[in-house]
């Protein structure tokens, strides 16, 4: 069956939170005529229907029997349960089922077990973009723009269906996927959550902690706000790889602890040099991977009326991608204006203009 014919069948999305809704919007961008059935809690479905994310609300799983493609975008444990339940239904012949879970080994084992001998094609999926935000209200049609979208195998129908997400498909073995994501996604979430909890404990005897935490702390802990149900499911689905990353990290900490106790200045300097060089060369952070690259200019601005407008007026001929005001803790500084540019040239021009026309402190760097 061609995709054109398949498209005439209904598509069912189970779970219309951040990922399910964003995928639905991406599908509709390229294929506005597809009919999307949505299954989730009643309030979520009301919002999704109202926003045009889905075409029809569903409150029973057996409606899946009408769908040509089924996409699961619920926490991992719920995904496994739905796979089991779907396998008991009288699904359409040659139905295509896919998921968006953050782990793949357990999902693919389940697929082998429950869909064996059935007329079902199950392709594991994982869009490598997201947010610490969750729920339908966080839906964003551009969420997956230029991000990698992992598939466990090539599938033209699925790739065509998802083409409006503007993601880059990549085929990865489930085990390799779970190893890599344990390092760059699962473990960092544990680290972020540990860091905020450690700081909160420390703040009990050191209330100043809450005032002195600055940009570095914020950058390292944003993902601690991610959804607890989803992340519990991720950790329980990929325990061995994650425990391996934790053990390895303990050793990294032991090594630097040792250097500090020995007051080994050279080794400590090398430790930071090494980290800096590695980060500066990480392709993923330079726009060659999932994360688009921007050139950020940080301007420390005083608490005076019209300062931001004055800076923007100076930059009126330069293309700006984004502007953010970061709060600062310094008494003399009201905040830090973060202005992002697409090219290094734009960043240099902006920097020169601000330095020429003001005496504000300016710093520039390439970042994600
Ligand atoms: N949040 C992220 O950044 C990313 C998440 N993922 C994966 O995508 C999946 C969905 O994650 P999010 O959309 O972020 O979560 P979310 O919390 O925003 O949305 C999950 C949705 O599933 C619904 N749901 C939960 N249990 C259900 C059930 N039994 N029946 C029907 N609906 C149910 C919830 O009501 C909610 O609307 C997860 O498996 C997650 O691992 C993948 C990439 C990125
Ligand atoms: O918020 C962020 O930066 C993320 O790291 C989003 C994310 C969360 C879970 C995934 O499986 C993939 C991406």
Could you tell me the distance, in angstroms and rounded to a whole number, from the CA of residue 144 to the centre of ligand 2? 11
Vertex 330 angle, CA 325 and 335, to 5°: 15
The confidence band for 368, taking pLDDT boundaries of 50, 70 and 90, is very low
Q: What was the ipTM of the complex prediction? A: 0.98
| pTM of the model as a whole | 0.83
- What is the dihedral sign for C-alpha 28, 228, 113, 174? positive
Question: Which atom of ligand 1 is found nearest the CA of 130?
Answer: 3
State the ligand closest to the CA atom of 42.
1
Q: Which residues pair with 58 in a beta bridge?
A: 39
Domain at 175-261, CATH from 1.10.3720.10, 1.10.3660.10, 3.40.50.300, 3.40.50.1820: 1.10.3660.10
The confidence band for 271, taking pLDDT boundaries of 50, 70 and 90, is very high
Question: Which atom of ligand 2 is found nearest the CA of 230?
Answer: 9
Nearest CA to ligand 1 atom 31: 40
Distances (CA, A) of 31 to 11, 35, 266, 302: 11, 9, 59, 49
Mutate to test the pocket of ligand 1, among 12, 13, 16, 19 (most ligand atoms within 8 A of CB): 19
pLDDT at 7 over 80: no
Selection from 209-213, 236-240, 287-291 with the highest mean pLDDT? 236-240
Mean pLDDT value of segment 222-236: 96
Domain boundaries, the chain: 3-172, 175-261, 294-367
Helices 239-261 and 265-281: angle between axes, nearest 10 degrees: 140
Residues with CB under 6 A from ligand 2: 102, 128-132, 185, 223
pLDDT per position as a tens digit, 320-356: 877 888 765 554 556 788 888 878 888 999 999 999 9
Could you tell me the distance, in angstroms and rounded to a whole number, from the CA of residue 231 to the centre of ligand 1? 10
pLDDT at 71 over 90: yes
Could you tell me the distance, in angstroms and rounded to a whole number, from the CA of residue 225 to the centre of ligand 1? 15
pLDDT at 366 over 70: no
Tell how many helices (H) and how many strands (E) occur in the chain: 15, 13
Nearest CA to ligand 2 atom 11: 102
Query: DSSP labels for 267-289?
Result: HHHHHHHHHHHHHHH-GGGGTSS
Mean pLDDT value of segment 158-165: 97
In the chain, the percentage of residues whose pLDDT exceeds 70 is 92
Domain at 3-172, CATH from 3.40.50.720, 3.30.70.100, 3.90.550.10, 3.40.50.300: 3.40.50.720
Which of 114-128, 225-239, 294-308 comes out lowest in average pLDDT?
Answer: 294-308
Q: Which residues pair with 67 in a beta bridge?
A: 10
Q: Which residues contact 105 (CB under 8 A, 6 or more apart)?
A: 174, 175, 177, 178, 238
pLDDT per position as a tens digit, 280-320: 888 666 554 555 556 888 898 887 888 988 999 999 988 88
Question: Which atom of ligand 2 is found nearest the CA of 234?
Answer: 11
Residues with CB under 6 A from ligand 1: 14-20, 39-41, 44, 73-76, 78-79, 100-102, 126-127, 130-131, 134-135, 227, 230, 234
State the ligand closest to the CA atom of 180.
2
Tell me the two tokens of residue 78: 């719920």
Which of 127-136, 146-155, 294-303, 359-368 comes out lowest in average pLDDT?
Answer: 359-368
What average pLDDT does the structure give for the chain? 92
Architecture of domain 294-367: 2-Layer Sandwich (3.30)
The predicted pLDDT at position 5 comes to: 72
pLDDT at 104 over 60: yes
Q: Who wins on pLDDT, 128 or 324? A: 128
Could you tell me the distance, in angstroms and rounded to a whole number, from the CA of residue 282 to the centre of ligand 2? 18
Mean pLDDT value of segment 230-237: 97
Could you tell me the distance, in angstroms and rounded to a whole number, from the CA of residue 184 to the centre of ligand 2? 9
Mutate to test the pocket of ligand 1, among 64, 73, 147, 181 (most ligand atoms within 8 A of CB): 73
Could you tell me the distance, in angstroms and rounded to a whole number, from the CA of residue 243 to the centre of ligand 2? 19
Vertex 100 angle, CA 154 and 141, to 5°: 95
State the ligand closest to the CA atom of 223.
2
pLDDT at 58 over 80: yes
């Amino acid at each position: 069956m061609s995709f054109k014919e398949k498209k005439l069948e209904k598509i069912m999305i189970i779970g219309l939170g951040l990922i399910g809704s964003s995928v639905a919007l991406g599908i509709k961008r390229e294929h506005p005529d597809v009919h999307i059935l949505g299954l989730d809690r009643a309030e979520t479905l009301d919002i999704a229907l109202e926003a045009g994310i889905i075409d029809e609300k569903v409150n029973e799983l057996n409606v899946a029997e009408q769908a040509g493609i089924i996409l699961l975008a619920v926490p991992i444990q719920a995904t496994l349960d739905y796979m089991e339940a779907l396998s008991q239904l009288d699904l359409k012949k040659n139905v295509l089922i896919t998921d968006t879970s953050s782990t793949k080994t357990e999902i693919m084992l389940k697929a082998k077990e429950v869909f064996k001998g059935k007329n079902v094609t199950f392709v594991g999926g994982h869009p490598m973009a997201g947010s610490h935000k969750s729920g339908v209200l966080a839906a964003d049609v551009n969420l997956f723009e230029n991000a990698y979208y992992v598939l466990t195998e090539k599938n033209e129908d699925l790739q065509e269906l998802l083409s409006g997400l503007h993601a880059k498909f990549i085929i990865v073995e489930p085990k390799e996927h779970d190893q890599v994501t344990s390092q760059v996604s699962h473990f960092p979430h544990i680290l972020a959550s540990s860091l905020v909890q450690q700081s909160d404990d420390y703040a009990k005897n050191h209330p100043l902690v809450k005032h002195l935490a600055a940009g570095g702390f914020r950058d390292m802990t944003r993902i601690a706000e991610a959804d607890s149900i989803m992340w519990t499911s991720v950790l329980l689905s990929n325990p061995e790889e994650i425990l391996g990353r934790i053990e390895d990290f303990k050793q990294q900490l032991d090594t630097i602890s040792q250097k500090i106790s020995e007051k080994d200045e050279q080794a400590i300097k090398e430790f930071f040099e090494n980290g800096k060089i590695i980060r500066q060369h990480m392709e993923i952070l330079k726009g060659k991977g999932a994360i688009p690259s921007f050139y950020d200019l940080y301007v420390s601005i005083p608490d005076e009326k019209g300062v931001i407008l004055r800076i923007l007026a100076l930059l009126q001929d330069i293309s700006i991608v984004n502007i953010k005001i970061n709060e600062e803790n310094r008494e003399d500084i009201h905040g830090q204006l973060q202005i992002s540019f697409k090219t290094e040239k734009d960043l240099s021009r902006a920097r020169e203009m601000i330095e020429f026309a003001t005496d504000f402190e300016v710093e520039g760097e390439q970042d994600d």
